[in-house]
Structure 1
Amino acid sequence: MAGNTDDISLPESLDPKAIDAAIAERSWLLRFPPQLEAMFERDTGPQRCHELIVRAYIGIIVYNLFAIADLWAAPHLFMTAFWVRVVFFTPVSLALTASLYLSPPAFLRESIMCLGGGALAIGTIIYLMAASGGSPQPSLHESMILVVLFLTVVQRVRFWYLLPVCLACLLAHSLALAEFYAYPVGPQVATNMVFGAGVIFSLVASYTMERDLRLHYLLSLRDRALNSELDRMSRRDMLTGLGNRRALEETLADCEPSIGQPDDFSVVLIDIDHFKMFNDTAGHQAGDLCLKRVAGIVQAELRGQADLVFRFGGEEFIVVLPKTTLSKAIEIAERMRCAIEAAAIPHPAPAAAPVVTASFGIAGTRLGHRLGAVEIIANADSALYAAKRSGRNQVWPRPASLDTIATMDRALRKA
């Protein structure tokens, strides 16, 4: 009944500890905390509606087939039973079933099943018992237990909705026997006890099935949370916390169709200057701390969620800037360069600058220029080497040429 929830994403606000707490608690009330309950309904509701519709059609067909039993067991009631089943029960039940196509909320969904599969069916049975003229028809009151079983086993109506319906069925069964059939007290008690036992067993089964369903959902939810965390970790560089090469490749693949379209696209390659000297002089642990510091500085200079930074390998980082012109990317890179230099991370190597610096290579594409992501990165790599050849600790193309680049951008857009 839960349906397939493997492809449904988990909200970021969901605390995995809440799932573990719900599993440990196993509330006898068959109710999750509000956030989990909302997720449960979101994930299982549409599939449950589909299953209820299919099973409702089966129930309606079987109910009408009992007209054959009416013909043999109570011929004098056949026409009355036929019209009750076909003219009244079937259209109303079909109308209620059709409302499930709208995927109503849980309260309406379960209430519709209690009304259509329970109240209507029991009501028609009692009507036929009253129309039998005091002539006992055991097949009628005995068929009430089939209604309870249909709601419990076939439709699996949620326990707290099923409970009042089953109790109402038990009361209706007892009153109908006493009112319409002149059974002696002993047979009435025995018949009601059998019916009552069936109701109790059905309620126990309903409670157990829903409890197991909810537990299964929580376990699958925990598995999804663990898989989601593992998937997230597989896309993260463990040292810096940035996206790794796998995440970069997936991001570029997503961006590829839009590159060269109406929006600009730029990338920034960053290389920490003389990092090998840093490692050789201060050791790899100090080098790792330096990498994390620089990664944090670069990340702090991003403009928002659209801008993404990844560890490109070793001491290199790459910043992906969708919808960003080359001139704007140069501005962002210059801001990052200044922030790294201003952090004044001491460089231990005598041959290097006193503080850690970085070189930047920028490349991008403009409207109408159809370049692939690989070509853009290759151009950024060439720009990075140009920055290194020109003395390091600089952005290439240089910010001094921003006005020229902006003028070229406008000319290309007008062309």
Structure 2
Amino acid sequence: MSEPTITRAEVRRCIDNRGPGLRFPPAVERAFETYRRRHQARVTLATIGPTLLIYNLFLIVDFLLLPQTFLIALVAHLLVVTPAILLAGWLVRREPGLILRESLTATIPLAMVAQILFVYALNSGPSADQYQFLVLPVLIYACVNQRLDFRFAAATTALIVAAYLAVLLPHANTVATQLVGLTIMPCVAYLGIAASYRMEWDTRYAFLRRLQDRLKREEAELAARHDPLTGLANRYALERRIESLQTGLHGSDLSVAALMIDVDHFKAFNDHHGHPEGDACLQRIAGALYARLRNDSDLAVRIGGEEFLVLLHGAGLADAVRISERIRRAVEGFGIRHAERHDHDVVTVSIGAMAGSLARFRVDQLIDGADSALYAAKDAGRNRVWPPFDDADANAPGRTRHAPA
């Protein structure tokens, strides 16, 4: 399942509106569950060994307090509970869904408690009354170490307390033992549940902070690679793409095409119609460029001002010229009025194209060649593609993409 899309504003609202409740809005809750599933798998892997070691050291208590049932306890420890814990841990490491994962995690302390109460029920006397208190550290382990979802922690605690009292009350050797159990167990259960709630609240808050920081970094990285006005890539992203092509594909037969695009007489348009109209014009042209990209390997860049560059991955010169002509016609078709032009009454673009294999050209040489072709297009009268385009190919089918947000 892919991680849901979350905005930094949503996370900020979650942080600002944090109350005693533990649930997040659905999208954030799903992201938290994804994080928790992976985290719990790692924690289980790290703690399963120490858990088994400490639990099986309880056999020393069996040997000292209840030697008459030591062999039964040994079998229960090594042949029943330990394999059950290993199986539950293995399944949790496979990152199952919430209900199965938490149920498996809760199985570990529940199996321990079942073994302790079973052995306790087989014995009587003062030693047995001391033995039953082994349930207490297991309850603390369930609430604190296991880091169960609070709802499952509460249910697990309730099951442990109910099982403990169900065995203790009819079986205790003295009334004093019953009273001590009735006093201590609810107190430990309350402290365990309170700790579980507090830890989950803190875990969720820390998750929000980490998520906020991550989204902030991603936004900064995105801003560093994109032009804020048009949403196209910027010079920094272009440099990274050139570096990637030169490093990864240098010497290959892959053909790369470069298109240099310039808005004809844009300064006059901007001066006459104003900067807001100029910005809107550039945004529409950027949308036309982006819509003609064929896939994610192609790149549209705002070089600066009214100049743009398109890199076409795996395109020859014929492809480059066809796409250039589609861009030129699209911009002219917008019909954006240009009151300061004497040769045309709408905004147009001039485009220069060059293509070649990376075995013969560096990417910067292709860009320089496209720039020279752009000057040739301007010298030939603007609103045209250079090299010249065969009108018969203008209507060739091509994919388009939605403009950038």
* Fold match by TM threshold 0.5: yes
TM-score (ref. length: structure 1): 0.84
Aligned counterpart in structure 2 of residue 390 of structure 1, from 380, 390, 393: 380
Aligned counterpart in structure 1 of residue 194 of structure 2, from 186, 190, 204: 204
Query: Is the 2:172–2:178 contact (alpha carbons within 8 Å) kept by the matching residues of 1?
Result: no
What is the aligned partner in structure 2 of residue 153 from structure 1?
A: 144
1:15-414 map, 5 Å: 15-26=7-18, 28=20, 30-116=22-108, 118-134=109-125, 136-184=127-175, 186-256=176-246, 257-258=248-249, 261=252, 264-279=255-270, 287-303=278-294, 307-349=298-340, 353-366=344-357, 369-400=359-390
CA–CA distance in structure 1, aligned partners of residues 329 and 115 of structure 2: 83
Shift of 1:287: 4.3
Shift of 1:139: 3.5
Which region of structure 1 is more displaced relative to structure 2, 245-254 or 265-274?
245-254
Cα displacement string for residues 238-274 of structure 1 (whole angstroms, at most 9, x for unaligned residues): 3333221112223344444347756543221101223
CA–CA distance in structure 2, aligned partners of residues 53 and 312 of structure 1: 51
Cα displacement string for residues 38-87 of structure 1 (whole angstroms, at most 9, x for unaligned residues): 21122232232121232222111001112223333333333332232223
Q: In structure 1, give the amino acid aligned to 2:366.
A: I
| Structure 2 CA distance for partners of 1:143 and 1:253, relative to 1, 3 Å | same
User: What secondary structure does 2:390 align onto?
Assistant: helix
Query: Is the 1:10–1:225 contact (alpha carbons within 8 Å) kept by the matching residues of 2?
Result: no
Query: Is the 1:136–1:181 contact (alpha carbons within 8 Å) kept by the matching residues of 2?
Result: no
| Structure 2 CA distance for partners of 1:35 and 1:291, relative to 1, 3 Å | closer
Shift of 1:198: 0.4
CA–CA distance in structure 2, aligned partners of residues 81 and 254 of structure 1: 64
User: What secondary structure does 2:315 align onto?
Assistant: coil
CA–CA distance in structure 2, aligned partners of residues 62 and 285 of structure 1: 71
| Structure 2 CA distance for partners of 1:283 and 1:97, relative to 1, 3 Å | closer
Q: In structure 2, give the amino acid aligned to 1:250.
A: R
Shift of 1:27: 6.2
Cα displacement string for residues 25-47 of structure 1 (whole angstroms, at most 9, x for unaligned residues): 44655333332222112223223
CA–CA distance in structure 2, aligned partners of residues 52 and 46 of structure 1: 10
CA–CA distance in structure 2, aligned partners of residues 299 and 22 of structure 1: 35
CA–CA distance in structure 2, aligned partners of residues 23 and 93 of structure 1: 37
CA–CA distance in structure 2, aligned partners of residues 119 and 350 of structure 1: 83
TM-score (ref. length: structure 2): 0.86
CA–CA distance in structure 2, aligned partners of residues 27 and 94 of structure 1: 38
Shift of 1:393: 2.1
Percentage of matched positions with identical amino acids: 33
Unaligned runs of 5+ in 1: 1-8, 404-415
What is the aligned partner in structure 1 of residue 403 from structure 2?
A: none
User: What secondary structure does 1:327 align onto?
Assistant: helix
Which region of structure 1 is more displaced relative to structure 2, 208-217 or 130-139?
130-139
Count of residue pairs brought into register by the alignment: 392
Q: In structure 2, give the amino acid aligned to 1:207.
A: Y
Which region of structure 1 is more displaced relative to structure 2, 82-91 or 162-171?
82-91
Q: In structure 2, give the amino acid aligned to 1:193.
A: T
CA–CA distance in structure 2, aligned partners of residues 156 and 315 of structure 1: 57
CA RMSD of aligned residues (A): 2.9
| Structure 2 CA distance for partners of 1:236 and 1:289, relative to 1, 3 Å | same
CA–CA distance in structure 1, aligned partners of residues 349 and 37 of structure 2: 54
Q: In structure 2, give the amino acid aligned to 1:144.
A: V
User: What secondary structure does 2:58 align onto?
Assistant: helix
CA–CA distance in structure 2, aligned partners of residues 297 and 85 of structure 1: 71
| Structure 2 CA distance for partners of 1:370 and 1:71, relative to 1, 3 Å | farther
CA–CA distance in structure 1, aligned partners of residues 289 and 77 of structure 2: 73
| Structure 2 CA distance for partners of 1:333 and 1:71, relative to 1, 3 Å | same
| Structure 2 CA distance for partners of 1:289 and 1:174, relative to 1, 3 Å | closer
Q: In structure 2, give the amino acid aligned to 1:82.
A: L
| Structure 2 CA distance for partners of 1:76 and 1:127, relative to 1, 3 Å | same
User: What secondary structure does 2:155 align onto?
Assistant: helix
| Structure 2 CA distance for partners of 1:177 and 1:338, relative to 1, 3 Å | closer
CA–CA distance in structure 2, aligned partners of residues 10 and 63 of structure 1: 37
What is the aligned partner in structure 2 of residue 4 from structure 1?
A: none
User: What secondary structure does 1:143 align onto?
Assistant: helix
Deviating beyond 6 angstroms after TM superposition, the runs of 4 or more aligned structure 1 residues are none
| Structure 2 CA distance for partners of 1:265 and 1:89, relative to 1, 3 Å | same
Query: Is the 1:387–1:396 contact (alpha carbons within 8 Å) kept by the matching residues of 2?
Result: yes
